[in-house]
Structure 1
């Protein structure tokens, strides 16, 4: 029997379908020092962001020769040593289509939150404070949204932002995208100087460090907003707090952090910041789509 280990949870209907198709599904989270040994008894592992599949874990699995497939439920695979797994005969894949709409909607939610003080006024009112005159915000219609990275999530966000009356510009490591002429391409530095809102949709590459640090924040417009629903680490958190304190940035929406769960109380409690605990794909619809896509990948691989 083909055995599937699900370490970070999966939609119930997807698990039910796999079991109905004859797969054994085990739902259990293991710390890294134990995970490698456990993987000797599984053909597939399904992870989200909590489980880290680094070289030492992969080495133990490879030694047994059973593990054939690693599936990341979601988009980013920075918690997996992908190249090393592939070199050792293990296929690595993700579910890139499933959560695009959900993450795009969360980015917009953060944009509204910091533009209209929803984040801080919500807290103040619960404390009995009526600061109506203090919360004079800005409209997002007519503003320029700069997208850093132009993959599936960015394109979904571009469509939604355009419908809300924003002008969308973008940058991407591959350069200008041929089939998106309705949006204007800029190099990163020029985009940062031009955009009223900057939303990040790029992976974190540890050896490269933060994509948005002090120098990049200094380039941004006075009173601009930064949204990060991509990956912790792509923004220098200390530099971001400094930019908010100085008034360089009017606000920031943050769903992802360098350390998760984050212990950066200065950032989380900042009055100009709207924060969520890495919930970009946490909608019922996205979870259903992720589960369906994972099931399809497994069934296709073992057909």
Structure 2
């Protein structure tokens, strides 16, 4: 095989209904969202303190809560980090945290009574499951991906979905650096050989990574961090993305995937799972890679045609590969990575200089703690304040908080079908009160309206809620006061 070449140096029914609302977070990208770090958490069901916002320290914020709602019940699956559990418990919610995912029938039974559910990558919230979740108002994905949730159906039911797209970026980037070095030096092969008693001191086919070219497919938060780390180790970095992005350091963007494959000694994938990225690297693309190059996939299992990769490695075209994700992954730990799960598993495991890891890209203490904080705080803001900034399946809407100087004010959240005439109908319901603030936005078939109204007596709240519930456009109504 031809060795990699050095090159020159050159990112109650009432309780259910009022307990449905929006979410929060801003983002520099179109597809992913994350709460701004400057956003200060305000309010809860149980605390009586007031929060603060930079420059507004003299203002006492009103603590909002759902009108006439039951205690908020939260179900957390797949061993969500304790930081997230603690945040939700501190808000007075009833939190049940399980270490594993649940089979579909058990999940359907457990999801019926909860307002909030938190999952990671193994739990599948399909239309069938969500159709039984009559009280559910919000889903927290304590991970990057949201493909395990039927986002469209959730939106149609007025259920917001949040994730944590950035918190584990550094952990994934560091893993890729480790994999690049391990592949270049055939470390895993030497380690397994010595574990079995074989001393095999060789240098043939082992390389320094200095001076080699790293090709990054997808220059988002992970790809851009990886770019900096790789360049600091003496690698030359090129990247391909579907949009034009400024490279960090001396990294340069290439015009096509084919151009990247032709030049890179190491190709690493950092793209979402979409129809466009399915089998992004298949037989044709592998043939276009340099002889003796390496492929790394820490993105999604569907991005690489694994049978084609097996063939390319057997032929010597590809000198090594690292896979952290797979088309089908077990729902729990155990002896499950076999041909029953993926028909090619045995052939894959037989290859040399192949690093196989069980989807651990973001599995560090630091990343999981940060994810726990980010997603839990987003869930609290959604439940308590109704701000939908950062929801991956809902229009993004927020209003500044109410203050204690507005004692007879409340917040109305109306998630509705995106059809003509709704704003006129809603404002007719609110006409007997003063609308202090109002914001609305739409996304596809779903629209989200938030309004703060004043001069509302407590005995009027239920009638106001009922009037909104009776509108034909209604998906979900919430009243926070």
- Match for residue 372 of structure 2 among 272, 291, 296: 291
Distance verdict in 2 for CA 1:99–1:123, change over 3 Å: same
Q: TM-score under structure 2 normalisation? A: 0.60
Distance verdict in 2 for CA 1:20–1:208, change over 3 Å: closer
- Deviations along 1:80-136, one digit per CA (max 9) or x if unpaired, are 222221232111111112100111111111111111011110000011111112654
- Whether the 8 Å CA contact 2:85–2:97 is kept in 1: the answer is no
> 1:27 & 1:87 partners in 2: Cα distance?
27
* Aligned counterpart, 2:313: 244
* Counterpart check, 1:230 vs 2:302: no
* Aligned counterpart, 2:142: 73
* Aligned counterpart, 1:37: 109
- Whether the 8 Å CA contact 1:117–1:135 is kept in 2: the answer is no
In the alignment, structure 2 segments of 5+ residues that lack a partner are: 1-70, 331-336, 339-344, 385-481
> 2:103 & 2:275 partners in 1: Cα distance?
21
TM superposition shift of 1:207: 8.1
* Aligned counterpart, 1:59: 131
Q: TM-score under structure 1 normalisation? A: 0.93
- Deviations along 1:185-234, one digit per CA (max 9) or x if unpaired, are 22111111111111011122368631111011111011110001111111
User: Which of 1 and 2 has higher RCO (CA within 8 Å, sep 6+)?
Assistant: 2
- Match for residue 354 of structure 2 among 260, 265, 273: 273
* Counterpart check, 1:14 vs 2:84: yes
* Aligned counterpart, 1:92: 161
- Whether the 8 Å CA contact 2:87–2:373 is kept in 1: the answer is no
> 1:235 & 1:291 partners in 2: Cα distance?
30
Q: Pick the structure with more helix per residue.
A: 1
TM superposition shift of 1:57: 1.4
Residue 112 of structure 2 aligns to a residue in which SS?
helix
* Aligned counterpart, 1:201: 270
- Whether the 8 Å CA contact 1:213–1:236 is kept in 2: the answer is yes
Distance verdict in 2 for CA 1:67–1:246, change over 3 Å: same
Residue 322 of structure 2 aligns to a residue in which SS?
strand
Residue 171 of structure 2 aligns to a residue in which SS?
helix
- Whether the 8 Å CA contact 1:196–1:224 is kept in 2: the answer is yes
- Whether the 8 Å CA contact 1:244–1:272 is kept in 2: the answer is no
